Chains A and B, each alone.
Chain A
């Protein structure tokens, strides 16, 4: 256990109503979207739930809970991960990026703009995860081939099936960056 995880003091007397809060007895510190923060969580709490329910960052979605769909994708120390399969305690001391952290102060991220331009957004539910998977790819490999792109987002399901447009969007960003 790193120093970024601390056992919170357990209240001496807990009523039934308070038990759950009392169970949030781990304080986990990490960097979220560029800002350091500490959250009190239960040891069993999933990163996706901490983001959505605890921090109100509902751009991260959960659509299977078993790691099959990629909707809950977050970027952990530069790597796309499934936040529905990770305990929040596991991100202690690390850097987490979610969709809410992508847009700059003046404008949205080029990948976000490209998704709008190519019509890669339909119902929008897979979109945040898809964009984060794309960002992790482009951060690592700024000039991916079409096959690299397909490989990178093959873990993200889109049921409106905007696939070719999603690939066009990512390709557009890759080819626009000098």
Chain B
């Protein structure tokens, strides 16, 4: 199992098997919708069939006549719900669009909730809710006549903070070599395999919510605000999450509706929404457009970098990822100018999806780098080397940067030196072979966390924090860390996560969980060790040994429990108080004094059939450096899964939008293309040793969102190398390579 469990190198933890592996392979792991509740009513959502306009009439008679129907909630029944302000990042609602009508703001907006004794009855009745709409023509996406562009000047503060250095326009005008290229990325939906579910259970004034969540304290507090009750009345439970990728980070409209329904019925209510509804009742990655202009000297030094981005959002909410923040800092550009424009259309509000800013913006950057290398007649790796710098154009310094180490290791493993530069020059029978590469990057965020740790004389350790393992491996790395810090065997450690009854943890977003929670855990363990060493060496008649039991006996106590809080350097002193209120403060990345990023290099071989243009990816090699690696097995899993997400982004995934109706067409798992096993061949992950004591006390950089960055560019660069065709709009589909 050398592949699954890479041998740890310097600054890497052992590949212990997943803590929750057994529960998950036996079916014992209870995800929120698996929790049994007594005699639940089942909810089914009714969603809007138009994207813009209003509901003129809603006839419920036929629906109410379905046997087993208990209640149907419409706009009038939900007036008591308070509006919660939209805010990105878990601190607020995922969208401003919270009402059930009569105004309709996007296709698939929730307009009614049917409650019945059985799922079947609720579903049948939902289809019998008869709605008459007054429809207006919606703006579906970019280029719609009635879409509204928000100029950077309107956005104000944010535009002022985007990276800028020197006179990029002048540097471009005087450059020896220039490129000017436009790129586009499509809308994508998370499509975690677990659906969006909510179970609400009232006991008197106390409400328990079982819902898969990436931020239980955020959900608790936002829900309290929406229901107009005290947050202390609400407990959110979510120990396992069946995939999330950003879609379960914020409160979406369904939760309050189900809580309200359960209170009206005086009975638990269970909602499992359908796959097609998942496309419109939560968030998604919005489509983006880019224009990049670069100027360089003949020797490859880039003197000017101008990156403009356009992002789609909903009519009311200014959701933006603004990844120019990252693209502009990747290399030692001479002068930099950046700009982001929002385009408002009649769509649901987008939100975070795995590596939100860097997936589209680094794709554009790394495509442009390849185009520039070609223009210069330079090897793409050497172009990165020529512009590798420990300082960005604005003068900010990197805390650590192992980009070229990643390139060199991945290139060697891939056999890059065998590449012939001319497009179309490598061929195997009817297959055109292309080799491409690109940089992967993800900002290292910092966040606060609390934790509680208990140690007994028998050496049992219990770690408690309302953080979240969404498949990442947090259970495992916390168990490992606690075992290491307290010197107990791994199987003595129990970890409890995902419950607001525990001390607050950070949102499982921004790849920040390991660093934040781990740093708090190290503090709590240090406090426990300190209490142990404070034990008297000997008491009269008592044991003098060094065994844990002896030390506890000399201390005269039955267990040690320590609560600890971690606030990152420079963080506000009330960061934990804010966390209790569901407000996570995320810093780091490019926002602190130093630039903090996990980096990598990905090399891809594509094979394009000379006649049919069928595209295959027989192998992909990625080398990554992310500070301290806690567990080489779970790290490899995350990075490998990420790289396959990247292949998916490049070749498969796109949410297709009906431009007339502003509606998602492929809203199911058959038509929304994702790779299956048969699509994936050889994937190799190389972990490059790196130390960085500045990022956080445990020196770990988040890597859950690193592997899927840059992959799409590596593939389009390889496709160009194979065919001479440059695809500037994702995904690459074979029809784009014909003719």
Contacts A59-B27, A69-B193, A116-B22 given; indicate if A159 touches B640 (C-beta within 8 A). no
Whole-angstrom distance between the alpha carbons of A55 and B277 in the complex?
27
Q: Which residues in chain B, 1-56, are within 8 Å of chain A measured between CB atoms? A: 1, 3-5, 15, 17-18, 20-31, 33-34, 36
The interface residues of chain B lying within 8 Å CB-to-CB of A100 are 26-27
The stretch of A1-9, A88-96, A137-145, A161-169 that contacts the partner chain: A161-169
The interface residues of chain B lying within 8 Å CB-to-CB of A115 are 21, 25
Whole-angstrom distance between the alpha carbons of A106 and B119 in the complex?
38
The interface residues of chain A lying within 8 Å CB-to-CB of B67 are 16, 19-20, 23
The stretch of B301-309, B556-564, B668-676, B726-734 that contacts the partner chain: B668-676
Contact between A165 and B119 (Cβ–Cβ < 8 Å)?
A: no
From B118, B675, B678, residue with most partner A Cβ within 10 Å:
B118
- In the assembled complex, B191 has its CB within 8 A of some CB on chain A: yes
- Contact partner, A116, options B17, B120, B241, B640, Cβ 8 Å: B17
Whole-angstrom distance between the alpha carbons of A123 and B68 in the complex?
35
Contacts A69-B669, A150-B677, A162-B641 given; indicate if A127 touches B4 (C-beta within 8 A). no
Whole-angstrom distance between the alpha carbons of A155 and B676 in the complex?
8
- The count of A-to-B residue pairs whose CB atoms sit within 8 angstroms is 191
Whole-angstrom distance between the alpha carbons of A23 and B668 in the complex?
31
Identity of the chain A residue whose Cβ is nearest the Cβ of B17 in the assembled complex: A116
Contacts A117-B17, A160-B243, A163-B644 given; indicate if A123 touches B471 (C-beta within 8 A). yes
Nearest-neighbour CB distance to chain B for A146, whole angstroms, equals 10
Contact between B677 and A166 (Cβ–Cβ < 8 Å)?
A: yes
Nearest-neighbour CB distance to chain A for B108, whole angstroms, equals 17
The stretch of B522-530, B543-551, B629-637 that contacts the partner chain: B629-637
Q: Which residues in chain B, 461-478, are within 8 Å of chain A measured between CB atoms? A: 470-473
Contact between B275 and A64 (Cβ–Cβ < 8 Å)?
A: yes
The interface residues of chain B lying within 8 Å CB-to-CB of A123 are 192-194, 240-244, 470-471
Q: Which residues in chain B, 615-669, are within 8 Å of chain A measured between CB atoms? A: 633-634, 636-638, 640-641, 644-645, 648, 668-669
Identity of the chain B residue whose Cβ is nearest the Cβ of A44 in the assembled complex: B120
Whole-angstrom distance between the alpha carbons of A145 and B731 in the complex?
31
Whole-angstrom distance between the alpha carbons of A162 and B643 in the complex?
10
- Contact partner, B27, options A57, A117, A151, A154, Cβ 8 Å: A57
Contact between B641 and A122 (Cβ–Cβ < 8 Å)?
A: yes
Nearest-neighbour CB distance to chain B for A75, whole angstroms, equals 13
A97-119 Cβ-contact flags toward B at 8 Å (1 or 0): 01110110000100011011111
- In the assembled complex, A62 has its CB within 8 A of some CB on chain B: yes
Nearest-neighbour CB distance to chain A for B68, whole angstroms, equals 5
From A42, A60, A127, A166, residue with most partner B Cβ within 10 Å:
A127
Contacts A49-B119, A116-B22, A119-B5 given; indicate if A159 touches B17 (C-beta within 8 A). no
Contact between B121 and A20 (Cβ–Cβ < 8 Å)?
A: yes
A48-63 Cβ-contact flags toward B at 8 Å (1 or 0): 0100110011111111
Contact between A68 and B21 (Cβ–Cβ < 8 Å)?
A: no
Whole-angstrom distance between the alpha carbons of A69 and B473 in the complex?
23
The interface residues of chain B lying within 8 Å CB-to-CB of A68 are 275, 668-670
Whole-angstrom distance between the alpha carbons of A41 and B723 in the complex?
58
Contact between B117 and A158 (Cβ–Cβ < 8 Å)?
A: no
- Contact partner, A127, options B25, B244, B634, Cβ 8 Å: B25
Whole-angstrom distance between the alpha carbons of A128 and B25 in the complex?
6
- In the assembled complex, A157 has its CB within 8 A of some CB on chain B: yes
- In the assembled complex, A25 has its CB within 8 A of some CB on chain B: no
Tally of B interface residues using CB under 8 Å: 69
The interface residues of chain B lying within 8 Å CB-to-CB of A113 are 25
- In the assembled complex, A30 has its CB within 8 A of some CB on chain B: no
- In the assembled complex, A124 has its CB within 8 A of some CB on chain B: yes
Whole-angstrom distance between the alpha carbons of A45 and B683 in the complex?
42
Whole-angstrom distance between the alpha carbons of A125 and B25 in the complex?
9
Contact between B25 and A108 (Cβ–Cβ < 8 Å)?
A: yes
Whole-angstrom distance between the alpha carbons of A149 and B191 in the complex?
24
- Contact partner, A71, options B5, B121, B193, B675, Cβ 8 Å: B193
- In the assembled complex, B680 has its CB within 8 A of some CB on chain A: yes
Contact between A164 and B680 (Cβ–Cβ < 8 Å)?
A: yes
Contact between B637 and A124 (Cβ–Cβ < 8 Å)?
A: no
- Contact partner, B36, options A56, A124, A131, A166, Cβ 8 Å: A56
Contact between A61 and B242 (Cβ–Cβ < 8 Å)?
A: yes
- In the assembled complex, A126 has its CB within 8 A of some CB on chain B: yes
Contact between A121 and B25 (Cβ–Cβ < 8 Å)?
A: yes
Instruction: List the interface of chain A (C-beta within 8 A of B).
Output: 16-17, 19-20, 23, 42, 44-45, 49, 52-53, 56-66, 68-69, 71, 98-100, 102-103, 108, 112-113, 115-119, 121-128, 131, 149-151, 153-168, 172
Taking A159-B674, A161-B675 as given, write out 12 further A-B residue pairs in contact, using a Cβ cutoff of 8 Å, ordered by the A residue number. Answer: A42-B118, A64-B275, A112-B26, A116-B22, A117-B1, A123-B193, A123-B242, A124-B25, A124-B29, A158-B193, A159-B245, A163-B675
Which 8 A-B pairs rank lowest in CB-CB distance, beginning with the nearest? A59-B27, A123-B471, A125-B242, A124-B24, A58-B34, A161-B644, A99-B27, A116-B21
Some 18 contacts from A to B, beta carbons below 8 A apart, are A19-B67, A19-B68, A53-B119, A58-B27, A66-B275, A68-B275, A68-B668, A116-B17, A116-B22, A119-B15, A119-B17, A123-B193, A123-B244, A124-B242, A125-B192, A151-B678, A153-B677, A162-B637
